[in-house]
C-alpha cells in the first residue's frame, strides 16, 4: 500500500490522525516527568561493622578480612573496597553493571554477611548492610534555631519529618546530623572507694533493675494470663533514686548518693550538621518512584511554608539543596536551545528550498518531535538533559527525509508529471532508501543501550529518542509530507540545467577529482593518517562538570583528629566562605559525607576528621573565581588539612579525576612508593592538590600490663580494659527506653579524669569479682606508638590510592598521559619491589570501562548496519564504498576539536556516532540516485556526475541545517554539549565535501569507470529527469 496515496484519498482521516499525534505530543509534554539528568542505578552497598577500641590492623584482620572472604563468594561482584579504621570497618561492595534487578543481589549480600557473623569477635557489633547507598535526596532542608537546645531542635525535626512523609510524592525523609542521646552516670574514684563499690557493681545493679524478662503465665479457666512485673526505668529520676545495698553495709543508698546522673548527648558526638555556621539538623527528602520532581518541590515547599507558621520564634527552615530549581533551569534552557535550533533549521530550509517547499519540509520537524515526545513515556524516558539534547541531535537527520521527499516530488511536478502520480511515484521510489538510511543511523547508536555500563544506562534515552524521532520522521515523510506537497506545491514546469555558479563550481571540482582520482585518494589517505595521528593532541575528558551555581568541598583534618577539632576548623572555613560576596549559603556535614543529594556524587564514608561543604553561589559565573579564592585560603591558613574542591560532575560518579592505585602487602612500602608517585604528580603543571586515602600515621597509647602483678592484685585483662573504658570514655551499662527510642545508659568517670591522657596512670583498675581496685601504674606501663590511621583494601589486597585535583583548563587524561610513562619506568627498576602493582582509576578507568562496554557491541551494530546496506543494494561493493567514506570524517573532527580546545569524551563520541549516521544517510541517497539513473539507460560516467549534481543541494541543505542546529548547543550548551556540537559541526563540514566528491570517486574506482577525455554533456539532464 502506498501510504501517501491513502492519505490523499482519505485526507480527513489522515488530518485527524496527524492532529491527534500533535495533540498527544503536546499533552504529554506538559505531563511528562522532567529531571535534570537521566537516572541510573548505583549498584553499590555498604557494610559497616563497629569493633569498639580495636586498632585499624586488628579491625582489618578480625573483621574486614572475615567479611570480605564471605562477600567475595558472590559471583556477580565487580570489586570490593574496604576501610579499616580504629573501631570500625566499612566495606563498599560494587556489583556488575549488567544486573538489572538488584533486590535478589542485596539479599544474597545480607545472607553472606550473616554467614560471616559467627567468625567475628564477640566484642564486634552486628554488621549493618546499607543497600540504599544509591538513593537520591533531591531536597535538603536545614532546621536551625538560635537559643534552642539540640533536643528541642530534634523534636521539631521529628515532627517535620512525620508531616513531610504525608506529602504526596515523598518517598523518604531522613534526618542527618542527629546526635545520639545518652543517660550519663558519672562517678569518681574517691566516692567509689568511700562507698566500697566498683563501677562494675553499679552497672550490674542498673542493668538488673532495668531488665525486661518474661515472667511466666497462668491458666485461669479458659484464659491464659501473662505476668509482667514493674521496675523498668520510666524517667531519669527513677535511675537517680535507684536504691542499692552493698555487702557489709546495713543501710542502702541511692545511686545519686555516689554518682551524678544526667541526660545529654554523646560526647564527643559521632556526626554533626551545620547551616551557615549554625548547628542544624538536615532533613533529606527523596521522591517516590514515578513522580515529577518539579511537582514534588512545589508540594514540599508549600507544606514547609505551612509548618513555618507554627515554628517557635527563632527556628527556621533553610533550603540547602533544591533539585526542582535546577531541573526547571536545565529543561527550560535546553528547550530554548531546541526552539532556537528549530527556528534556524526552518530558516535554512526556506532559504534553500523556497517558501512552499521549505514550509512542507519544515513541518516534519515539529510533528516528528511531538510524535517522539508522545511515545517517550512508554519507554520510561522523560525530559532531561540527554533526551532533550537527543532531539537536537536528531534535527539534522530527520529533516533530511522531508527535504528529500519534497524535493523529489517538486522535481517530478516541475517536469510535468501528474500530481497524484508524482507524489505516489516519489514515495514508491524513496521509501526503501530512506528506511535503510534511518535504520543505519539507529544501528549506529545501538551499542549504547546494549552497553553493560553505568554510562550506557545514563545515555540510554539518547538511543530511544533518536530511534523514535527517526521512526516518526520516516512515517511522516511517507504520509504527511507527500500529502502537503500534493496540496501546497505549485511549481512551474521548468528544466533543471544545474547551470548556476554553485553547480558549475561543484561540477568542475568533481570532474577534476574523477580525472585525477589516484592523486585525490592519496591526498585523502594522507589526510586521514595525519588526522588520526593528530587526534592524540585533542584533550580528553570523560564527562565535564555540571554547570550549577554550586560546588562542594571535602575537608580532612589530620587522621586521628577528634571530631570536635574538626568542627572548630570547619567553623573557621565557614567564616571565610560566608564573608565572601558570592556565597549565598553553606551547608556542612561533619564526620560524614552527608546524603546523596545529587546522583553522580562520590560520597565519602564516615570519619571523625572529615567534613563536607555544600557551597551555594549567586551565579554559575562566580563558581570558578570563588573556588580559586577558597583554594588559596585553604593553602594559606589550613596547612595541616587536606581538601578537594569539586564542581558537580555529569555522568556516573568518578571521584578525583586522577587516581593512581598502589597495591601490595606491606604498609611502610606502600607509603614509600606513594611518596615517589606524589612527587611525580606535584611536578606536573595543572595539578592543584595531591593526597592519598590512607593519610598519615596516628598515635596510639599502648598499655603494657604486667600479668604477674595483675594476677597478684586479683585483676584480669578484662578488668583492665573495662576499667580504662569506663574511666576514659565510659561504657554502656543498660538501655533507657523512651517510647520507640532506646537511649544508652553510660557509666563514666568524672570530668577531671575523662579524656585526660595525663591522668591515665592514676585511673583505678577495679576487679570484676570483688570490686577491689589499684591504680593502673601499679600493674602496667603505657607508651605512645604509631599506627596506620586507615587501612584500605581493594579486592582483599591492601591498596593506597594517590589522588589529584586539577586547575581549570587542565584535563585528567593529559596529566595521566604525562606521568604514566615515568611510573611505568619506575616499576621496571630495582626500586620497585616484587609483589606490588600499580593501576589507574578516576576518569581514565571510567572512560575505559564505558568505551569498552560500547565497543563490545560495536561489531553487532556494524554488522547490522552493513546487512541493511547489502539488503538495500543487493551488493557488496556499494556498502563498502559507503563505509570507506566514514574514516575521513576525522579530517574535520581533529582540527575542529583542537582549534576550539574542546575535550573529547563520551558525549563527543556520541556526536561522532551521529555524524556517522548523517554521512551514511547521504551516501545511501547518492548511490541510490546513481543506480536510478543507470536503470534509465544513462552511461555510468554520466550517471555518476548527474546523480551527484542532483543530490548536491539536499546534501548541502542537510549539512547546513545540522550545523546551524548545533549552534545553540555550541554557544549555550555549556561544557556538557559544546564539545559534542563542535565535533559534529567540524566533522560535518568536511564530511559533506567528502560525500559529494569521495563517494562518486570511489564508485568510479570500484566499478572501473575511467574519466580520461570525459566531457560533460548537459543533454544528459533531460534523459535523467524524473517524470
Helix (H, G, I), strand (E, B) or coil at 517: helix
Parse the chain into domains and list their residue ranges: 3-31+354-542+850-1024, 43-133, 181-213+239-263+706-772
| Chain centroid, CA 547 distance in Å | 14
Cell of 162: 512525620
Residue 144 contacts residue 585 (beta carbons within 8 Å) = no
| Class of domain 3-31+354-542+850-1024 as given by CATH | mainly alpha
Q: What is the pLDDT of residue 964?
A: 83
Long-range contacts at 969-977 (CB < 8 A, ≥ 24 apart) = 969/337, 969/341, 969/389, 969/392, 972/333, 972/336, 972/337, 973/337, 973/389, 974/544, 974/547, 975/544, 975/545, 975/547, 976/385, 976/543, 976/544, 976/546, 976/547, 976/650, 976/907, 977/389, 977/907
Residue 262 contacts residue 186 (beta carbons within 8 Å) = yes
Cell of 554: 571535602
Rounded average pLDDT per 10-residue block, the chain, 1027 residues: 86 93 92 83 90 90 94 93 92 90 92 94 91 87 90 91 93 90 85 78 81 78 81 83 72 82 85 93 90 88 92 92 86 78 78 76 86 92 85 76 82 82 88 88 88 85 92 92 87 64 87 92 93 90 85 90 91 94 94 88 84 93 92 92 88 87 94 94 91 86 86 85 82 83 86 75 80 84 86 94 89 91 92 93 88 87 90 89 90 91 85 85 87 87 88 83 82 82 89 87 91 81 61
Q: Among 397, 383, 392, 387, which residue's Cα sits nearest to residue 338?
A: 392
CA–CA–CA angle 270, 273, 278 (5° rounding): 130
How, if at all, do strands 741-749 and 658-663 pair? unpaired
CATH architecture of 181-213+239-263+706-772: 2-Layer Sandwich (3.30)
Helix (H, G, I), strand (E, B) or coil at 1010: coil
CA 322/CA 588 separation, integer angstroms: 16
Strand order in the sheet with 731-738: 260-265, 181-187, 741-749, 731-738
Q: Among 440, 351, 437, 434, which residue's Cα sits nearest to residue 964?
A: 351
| Measured CA distances, 315 to 281, 490, 575 (Å) | 11, 73, 21
As a CATH number, domain 43-133 is: 3.30.70.1430
Beta strand spans in 901-948 (E): none
What stretch of H or E contains 790?
strand 790-794
CA 924/CA 882 separation, integer angstroms: 7
Q: Among 287, 282, 321, which residue's Cα sits nearest to residue 170?
A: 287
Q: What is the pLDDT of residue 587?
A: 95
CA 153/CA 151 separation, integer angstroms: 5
Helix, strand, coil abundance in the chain, percent, nearest 5: 55, 20, 30
Helix (H, G, I), strand (E, B) or coil at 743: strand
How, if at all, do strands 780-787 and 698-705 pair? antiparallel
Amino acid at each position: 500500500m502506498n501510504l501517501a496515496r491513502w492519505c490523499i484519498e482519505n485526507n480527513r482521516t489522515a488530518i485527524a490522525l496527524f492532529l491527534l499525534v500533535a495533540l498527544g505530543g503536546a499533552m504529554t509534554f506538559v505531563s511528562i516527568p522532567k529531571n535534570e539528568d537521566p537516572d541510573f542505578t548505583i549498584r553499590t552497598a555498604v557494610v559497616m561493622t563497629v569493633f569498639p577500641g580495636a586498632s585499624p590492623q586488628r579491625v582489618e584482620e578480625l573483621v574486614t578480612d572475615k567479611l570480605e572472604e564471605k562477600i567475595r563468594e558472590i559471583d556477580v561482584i565487580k570489586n570490593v573496597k574496604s576501610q579499616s579504621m580504629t573501631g570500625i570497618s566499612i566495606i563498599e561492595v560494587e556489583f556488575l553493571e549488567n544486573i538489572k534487578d538488584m533486590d535478589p543481589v542485596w539479599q544474597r549480600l545480607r545472607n553472606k554477611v550473616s554467614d560471616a557473623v559467627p567468625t567475628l569477635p564477640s566484642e564486634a557489633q552486628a554488621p549493618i548492610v546499607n543497600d540504599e547507598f544509591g538513593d537520591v535526596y533531591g531536597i535538603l532542608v536545614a532546621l536551625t534555631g538560635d537559643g534552642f537546645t539540640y533536643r528541642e531542635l530534634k523534636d521539631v525535626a521529628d515532627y517535620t519529618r512525620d508531616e513531610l512523609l504525608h506529602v504526596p510524592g515523598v518517598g523518604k525523609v531522613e534526618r542527618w546530623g542527629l546526635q545520639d542521646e545518652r543517660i550519663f552516670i558519672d562517678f569518681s574514684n574517691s566516692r567509689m572507694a568511700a562507698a566500697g563499690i566498683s563501677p562494675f557493681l553499679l552497672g550490674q545493679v542498673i542493668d538488673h533493675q532495668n531488665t525486661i524478662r518474661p515472667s511466666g503465665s497462668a491458666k485461669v479457666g479458659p484464659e491464659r494470663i501473662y505476668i509482667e512485673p514493674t521496675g523498668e526505668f520510666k524517667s531519669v529520676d527513677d535511675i537517680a533514686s535507684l536504691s542499692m545495698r552493698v555487702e557489709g553495709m546495713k543501710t542502702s543508698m541511692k545511686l545519686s548518693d555516689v554518682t551524678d546522673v544526667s541526660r545529654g548527648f554523646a560526647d564527643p558526638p559521632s556526626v554533626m550538621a551545620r547551616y551557615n555556621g549554625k548547628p542544624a539538623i538536615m532533613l533529606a527528602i527523596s521522591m517516590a518512584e514515578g513522580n515529577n520532581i518539579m511537582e514534588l518541590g512545589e508540594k514540599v515547599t508549600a507544606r514547609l511554608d505551612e509548618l513555618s507558621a507554627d515554628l517557635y520564634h527563632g527556628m527556621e527552615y533553610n533550603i540547602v539543596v533544591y533539585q526542582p530549581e535546577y531541573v526547571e533551569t536545565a529543561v527550560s534552557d535546553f528547550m530554548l536551545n531546541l526552539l532556537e535550533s528549530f527556528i534556524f533549521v526552518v530558516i535554512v530550509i526556506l532559504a534553500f528550498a523556497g517558501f512552499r517547499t521549505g514550509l512542507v519540509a519544515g513541518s516534519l520537524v515539529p510533528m516528528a518531535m511531538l510524535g517522539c515526545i508522545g511515545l517517550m513515556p512508554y519507554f520510561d524516558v522523560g525530559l532531561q538533559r540527554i533526551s532533550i539534547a537527543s532531539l537536537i541531535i536528531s534535527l539534522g537527520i530527520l529533516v533530511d527525509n522531508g527535504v528529500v521527499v519534497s524535493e523529489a516530488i517538486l522535481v517530478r511536478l516541475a517536469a510535468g508529471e501528474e500530481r497524484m502520480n508524482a507524489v505516489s511515484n516519489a514515495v514508491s521510489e524513496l521509501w526503501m532508501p530512506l528506511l535503510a538510511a534511518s535504520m543505519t543511523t539507529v544501528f549506529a547508536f545501538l551499542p549504547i543501550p546494549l552497553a553493560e555500563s553505568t554510562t550506557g544506562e545514563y545515555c540510554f534515552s539518547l538511543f530511544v529518542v533518536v530511534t523514535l524521532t527517526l521512526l516518526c520522521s520516516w512515517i511522516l515523510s511517507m504520509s504527511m509530507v507527500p500529502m502537503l506537497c500534493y496540496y501546497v506545491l505549485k511549481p512551474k514546469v521548468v528544466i533543471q540545467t544545474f547551470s548556476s555558479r554553485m553547480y558549475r563550481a561543484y561540477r568542475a571540482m568533481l570532474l577534476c577529482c574523477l580525472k585525477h582520482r589516484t592523486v585525490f585518494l592519496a591526498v585523502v589517505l594522507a589526510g586521514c593518517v595525519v588526522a588520526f595521528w593528530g587526534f592524540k593532541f585533542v584533550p580528553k575528558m570523560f564527562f565535564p562538570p555540571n554547570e550549577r551555581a554550586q560546588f562542594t568541598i571535602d575537608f580532612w583534618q589530620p587522621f586521628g583528629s577528634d571530631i570536635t577539632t574538626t568542627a572548630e576548623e570547619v567553623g573557621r572555613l565557614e567564616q571565610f566562605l560566608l564573608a565572601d560576596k558570592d556565597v549565598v549559603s553553606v551547608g556542612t556535614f561533619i564526620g560524614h559525607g552527608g546524603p546523596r543529594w545529587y546522583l553522580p556524587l562520590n560520597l565519602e564514608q564516615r570519619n571523625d576528621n572529615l567534613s563536607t561543604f555544600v557551597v551555594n553561589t549567586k551565579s554559575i559565573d562566580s563558581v570558578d573565581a570563588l573556588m580559586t579564592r577558597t583554594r588559596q585560603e585553604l593553602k594559606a591558613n589550613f596547612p595541616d588539612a587536606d581538601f578537594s574542591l569539586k564542581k558537580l560532575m555529569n555522568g556516573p560518579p568518578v571521584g578525583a579525576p586522577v587516581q593512581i592505585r598502589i597495591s601490595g602487602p606491606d604498609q611502610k612500602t606502600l607509603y614509600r612508593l606513594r611518596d615517589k608517585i606524589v612527587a611525580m604528580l606535584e611536578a606536573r603543571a595543572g595539578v592543584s592538590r595531591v593526597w592519598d586515602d590512607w593519610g598519615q600515621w596516628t598515635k596510639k597509647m599502648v598499655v603494657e600490663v604486667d600479668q604477674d602483678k595483675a594476677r597478684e592484685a586479683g585483676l584480669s585483662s578484662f578488668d583492665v580494659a573495662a576499667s580504662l573504658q569506663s574511666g576514659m570514655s565510659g561504657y554502656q551499662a543498660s538501655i533507657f527506653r523512651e517510647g520507640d527510642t532506646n537511649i544508652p545508659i553510660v557509666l563514666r568517670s568524672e570530668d577531671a579524669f575523662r579524656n585526660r591522657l595525663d591522668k591515665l596512670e592514676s585511673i583505678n583498675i577495679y576487679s570484676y569479682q570483688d570490686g577491689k581496685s589499684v591504680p593502673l601504674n601499679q600493674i602496667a606501663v603505657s607508651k605512645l606508638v604509631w599506627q596506620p590511621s586507615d587501612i584500605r583494601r581493594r579486592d582483599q589486597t591492601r591498596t593506597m590510592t594517590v589522588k589529584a585535583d586539577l586547575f581549570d583548563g587542565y584535563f585528567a587524561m593529559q596529566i595521566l598521559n604525562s606521568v604514566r610513562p615515568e611510573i611505568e619506568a619506575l616499576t621496571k627498576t630495582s626500586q620497585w619491589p616484587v609483589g606490588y602493582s600499580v593501576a589507574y582509576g578516576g576518569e581514565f578507568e571510567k572512560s575505559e570501562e564505558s568505551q569498552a562496554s560500547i565497543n563490545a557491541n560495536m561489531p553487532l551494530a556494524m554488522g547490522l548496519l552493513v546487512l541493511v546496506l547489502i539488503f538495500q543494494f543487493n551488493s557488496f561493493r556499494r556498502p563498502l564504498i559507503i563505509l570507506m567514506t566514514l574514516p575521513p570524517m576525522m579530517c574535520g573532527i581533529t582540527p575542529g576539536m583542537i582549534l576550539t580546545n574542546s575535550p573529547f569524551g563520551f558525549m563527543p563520541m556520541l556526536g561522532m556516532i551521529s555524524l556517522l549516521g548523517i554521512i551514511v544517510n547521504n551516501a545511501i541517497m547518492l548511490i541510490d540516485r546513481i543506480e536510478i539513473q543507470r536503470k534509465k539507460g544513462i552511461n555510468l560516467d554520466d550517471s555518476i556526475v548527474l546523480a551527484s549534481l542532483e543530490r548536491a543541494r539536499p546534501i548541502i541543505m542537510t549539512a547546513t541545517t545540522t550545523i546551524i542546529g548545533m549552534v545553540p548547543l555550541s554557544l549555550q550548551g555549556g561544557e556538557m554539549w559544546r564539545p559534542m556540537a563542535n565535533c559534529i559541526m567540524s566533522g560535518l563540514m568536511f564530511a559533506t565535501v567528502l560525500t559529494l566528491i569521495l563517494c562518486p570517486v570511489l564508485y568510479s574506482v570500484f566499478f572501473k569507470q575511467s574519466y580520461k577525455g570525459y566531457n560533460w554533456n548537459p543533454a544528459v539532464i533531460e534523459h535523467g529527469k524524473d517524470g
